[in-house]
């Protein structure tokens, strides 16, 4: 496997929404200094998907080795890190195309598949001809990878070396931040993150409508809602607790605290908790 100081060959097999977002983020990051140089390859299942991906990436697609169908086998064989971006329902077909062999002992397999454990993936790989102890790392990035603001959750079995984990971490740090969690918490973490996305979409959409109702142009109201949500989230991401932020904004007869009171009166807090817990239950049932 290539060293962290050199170019790491990364093959993304399956470029749906998430795989495409990752490629967009990696390409965007090319314009800034990074600690790890990547040599990118990407393969789709069909030519139709290949054409869609090439059109989406535009001229930037020239910086990636793109292919479809059986090209996946050659890309996987030459890669240091193989990113499985397919759905778990399509994994069997993907492995039939790739035909993993004994050489996979020297590769790191990164799975983007939610709800599919590393043990389940190891079994599928072994049945397809890969070594019984393939290095598997699970990573669940977010759609914001395309703008390099993803929060990627990373989990791996204890047998995977720290060196491999460090390389995968550096790869995904190019498209945002990385949080390492125990694998048994991965699904719960993804669910809470997804619920936060739902909350953000609902909050911005609702506040945009409120602004329009009060005479603010829709584009201005939407920009205000999104930017203020980002600024509040940024402060908390930097270490300020929700209680500290609320206290800092709570001037006597202040607008923010009155808005909090209205949200509490409408049962928003309970609805948010229910949405988060419901997302976890739904994710665990998939």
pLDDT in tens, 79-95: 999 999 988 888 988 88
Residue-wise pLDDT tens digits, 208-234: 999 999 999 999 999 999 999 999 999
d(CA 133, CA 129) in angstroms, rounded, equals 11
- Does residue 152 have a known ligand-binding role? no
- Nearest-Å Rg of the Cα atoms of the chain is 21
* Residue 1 marked as a ligand binder: no
Is the pLDDT score of 37 beyond 90? no
Average pLDDT, the chain: 91
285 is in an annotated binding site: no
Give me the domains of the chain, ranges plus CATH numbers: 8-181 (3.40.50.720), 189-285 (1.10.3730.10)
Predicted confidence at residue 1, as pLDDT, reads: 46
- Comparing CA positions, the residue from 11, 203, 31 lying closest to residue 110 is 11
* Nearest Cα residue to 41 out of 5, 3, 71: 71
What is the pTM (predicted TM-score) of this model? 0.84
Q: What pLDDT score does 286 carry?
A: 78
**91 among the known binding-site residues?**
no
Q: What backbone phi and psi angles, to 5 degrees, belong to 129?
A: 110, 0
Question: What is the pLDDT, as a whole number, of residue 34?
Answer: 66
The mean pLDDT value for 159-183 works out to: 94
> What's the average model confidence in pLDDT over 138-166?
93
5, pLDDT greater than 70: no
Helices and strands in the chain, H and E counts = 11, 8
pLDDT, tens digit (0-9, with 9 covering 90-100), for 256-281: 999 999 999 999 999 999 999 999 99
Is 213 marked as binding a ligand?
no
Ligand-binding site membership of 234 (annotated): no
Residue 62 has pLDDT above 50, yes or no: yes
């Amino acid at each position: 496997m290539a060293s962290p100081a050199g170019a790491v060959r990364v093959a993304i097999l399956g470029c749906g929404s998430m795989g495409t977002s990752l490629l967009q983020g990696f390409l965007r990051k090319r314009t800034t200094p990074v600690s790890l140089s990547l040599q990118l390859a990407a393969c789709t299942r069909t030519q139709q998907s290949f054409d869609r991906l090439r059109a989406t990436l535009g001229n930037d697609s020239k910086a990636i080795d793109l292919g479809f169908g059986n090209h996946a086998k050659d890309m996987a064989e030459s890669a240091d890190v193989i990113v499985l971006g397919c759905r778990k329902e399509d994994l069997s077909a993907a492995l039939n195309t790739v035909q993993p062999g004994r050489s996979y002992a020297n590769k790191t397999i990164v799975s983007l598949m939610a709800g599919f454990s590393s043990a389940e993936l190891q079994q599928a790989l072994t049945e397809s001809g890969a070594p019984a102890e393939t290095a598997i790392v699970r990573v669940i990035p977010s759609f914001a990878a395309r703008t390099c603001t993803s929060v990627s959750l990373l989990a791996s079995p204890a047998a995977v070396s720290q060196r491999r984990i460090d390389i995968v971490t550096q790869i995904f740090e190019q498209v945002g931040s990385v949080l390492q969690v125990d694998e048994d918490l991965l699904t719960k973490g993804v669910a809470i993150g997804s619920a936060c996305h739902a909350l953000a979409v609902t909050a911005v959409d609702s506040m945009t409508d409120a602004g329009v109702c009060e005479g603010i142009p829709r584009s201005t109201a939407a920009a205000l809602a999104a930017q203020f949500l980002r600024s509040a989230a940024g402060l908390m991401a930097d270490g300020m607790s929700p209680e500290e932020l609320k206290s800092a904004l709570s001037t006597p007869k202040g607008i923010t605290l009155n808005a909090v009171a209205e949200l509490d009166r409408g049962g928003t807090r309970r609805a948010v908790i229910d949405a988060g817990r419901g997302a976890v239950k739904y994710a665990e049932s998939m």
